[in-house]
Every structure is written in structure tokens, then in C-alpha cells.
Amino acid sequence: MQPRDFSLYGAVDLGARQAAAQRRQQAAQSPSQPGAPDPSAPGGNGLVIDVTEETFNTDVVERSRTTPVIMDLWAEWCGPCKQLSPVLEKLAAEAGGQWILAKVDVDANPQLSAALQVQSIPMVVAVIGGQLVDGFLGAMPEGQVRQWIGQVLEAAEKMGMQLSAPAGAAEDELDGAQADTDARLPGDGGPEMPVAYADARAAMERGDLDGAAQAFEQELAVNPADPVAKTGLAQVNLIRRVSSYDQAKARRDAAEHPADVEAQARVADIDMATGRIEEAFNRLLGVVRRTSGEERDQARVHLVGLFELLPPNDPQVKKARSALSSLLF
């Protein structure tokens, strides 16, 4: 069985995370060369590194320009993650530096999770030359993971990286052109790229979320049905909201005030940003079920806004839309 197809539908380019992360890094770095990895840090010279929003630029984007980086997005509560992570760590050790395993705790890094548009975990993505090129969702057997990694390394060699022949490489070659198309993001250089996408990307690179939102809004004013612009705007808005929350307080407030629509919406945002898609949808469906009038409409509007983060044909969106219709009609 081949690894499942994966697409970062409407996600933000990895490079778009650089500017904001780099500012935080430079403030914390010693006088050594800006952006240079600290060998004593979790993301030093190890084969398996822990990545945060602050170290993402150095440990993932910059490293991937010379060595493929495979990101393992996980959470402590995730059972399948605990099955997959040891497999990835074993294969990283076997590879001896041919590629780097970068582990991201989605709960501890909600903004990064939102930017990558994590829909469920475990989620594994390969990064080459600062770009997402391929990935898969869910735990897979070691043999299939090994085959997928072999394909990633073949793709890296096609992109000009000097790598030794990978152990246990897959027999089938990765279709590099298709992988690039699937992973290509608004503003990533396509010949028919709308100007608004380039503006949004530039704003994200500056760490200007308001500017990115404005660019997507301008595109939607011209093309209201543009799915990429709608997803991009929803994603930027989610990042802005989640970054302003005290997550522990938000969860306490929601537990103490189950009828408070805003409290429930905040936790739904946090769940959405950390890959708990079904939990986010079910939380707001529960609010719609328990409320009426303006409060019900407020919950409905927020839920529909979260739908925009995923492709319209996503099974979880279809299921939640159906449940919402049943509650309303």
C-alpha cells in the first residue's frame, strides 16, 4: 500500500513563517552568526530534534536547504502518535544524518500548527529547500514509512541535494512535479498566481497578519468564491485569534461556563489549531444544540467560519455540516 496522498490545501508557505520567527530568534541569540543553530539546543546537531515556533526557521526552514527535514507533528494525548514516533526515530538513527527528524508538539505550538493547517495527527511532512513537498496522515507500518522516506530522499536528489543512496529506498519514484503542485502555496511562483496571493505571502513574511488578511479580502472582493483566498483568510484569522488566547484560562473558562458562547468558541479555535478538528466541530455543535436566538446564531457563524479552514469536500466538514443542518432545520 502506498502512503496516502497529502495536500496542504491553502496552507501558508514555510518561508512565510521565517520573518516572525527570525525576529524572536535574533532577540534570544548570542552575538554568534544570526540564524546559526546552537549545538547545545534541542535543535543542535542531533538526528532527532524538538522544534518550537521560535526555532522553526533555523531548525526546519534553513536546515532543509542542505538536508531533508521530516516533521513529526504529535501530541501527548495522541495514541497513534506514540506508535509512529518511535518508528520515525529509529529510521532517523539508521539514516545517520541523511535526513533530520524534527518533532513538533502541536499543543505547545498552536500558531505553527495553525500555519501548517494541521487537520489531524500524527501528521508527517517532508521539507526540502524550505518547501513542503510531501506528507501523510496517521500511523503507518514501518515498511511503508521507510518506503515513503526513500521517495522523499529521491525527490531531494532530483532537486539537487547531494545525498548518498538511501537504505531501503522505495522502488517507485516520487512524482516530483505532482508533489510540488500539491504542496505549492499561494504566492509560490506559479505563472498564473493572482497578485493578491503574492501580497498575502509578502505580508506573512513580514509577520503582518493584518496585511495578509487584507490581501485575501481584496481577492475575495473580486472573486468571492475563490477557495484558496477563503481558506487563506480563515487561516490568518485563526492564527490571530489563537495567538491572543491564554489557552489554560480559555479551557478553564469553557469548563466553568458551558453556556458561554465566546468561551466555547475560543476552545474550539485552540482545538482547530492543534488538529482536534472533530472536537472543535462537536463543541460548537453542542452550543448550537443548547442555545437559541442570538447565541445560537453566534455559535453557528463561528462554526461555519471554521469550516472555511478545510476543503469543502473534507469528510469532517461534510459530517459537521449535516449535523448543523439537522439542528437548525
**CA 238 vs CA 49, 92, 270: distances in Å:** 27, 33, 9
Catalytic residue among 78, 228, 267, 287: 78
**Amino acid residing at 60:** V
78 is catalytic: yes
DSSP string, 46-112: -SEEE--TTTHIIIIIIGGGTS-EEEEEE-TT-HHHHHHHHHHHHHHHHHTTSSEEEEEETTT-HHH
| CB burial string 225-238: b at 16+ within 10 A, e below | ebebbbbbbbbbbb
**Alpha-carbon distances of 6 from 29, 46, 85, 182, rounded to whole Å:** 35, 27, 19, 8
Joined grid coordinates for residue 291: 442555545
The answer to whether residues 164 and 108 touch, using CB atoms and an 8 Å cutoff, is no
* Spatial contact of 138 and 118, defined as CB atoms under 8 Å apart: no
Residues facing residue 137 across a β-bridge: 123
The amino acid sitting at 286 is G
CA 268 – CA 238 distance, rounded (Å): 10
To the query of whether residue 104 is one of the catalytic residues in this protein, the response is no
Strands annotated E in the chain:
48-50, 69-74, 100-105, 123-128, 131-137
Of residues 1, 12, 42, the one with CA closest to residue 200: 12
* Single-letter amino acid code for the residue at 88: L
Which entry of 11, 51, 81, 140 is annotated as an active-site residue? 81
Which residues have a catalytic role annotated? 78, 81
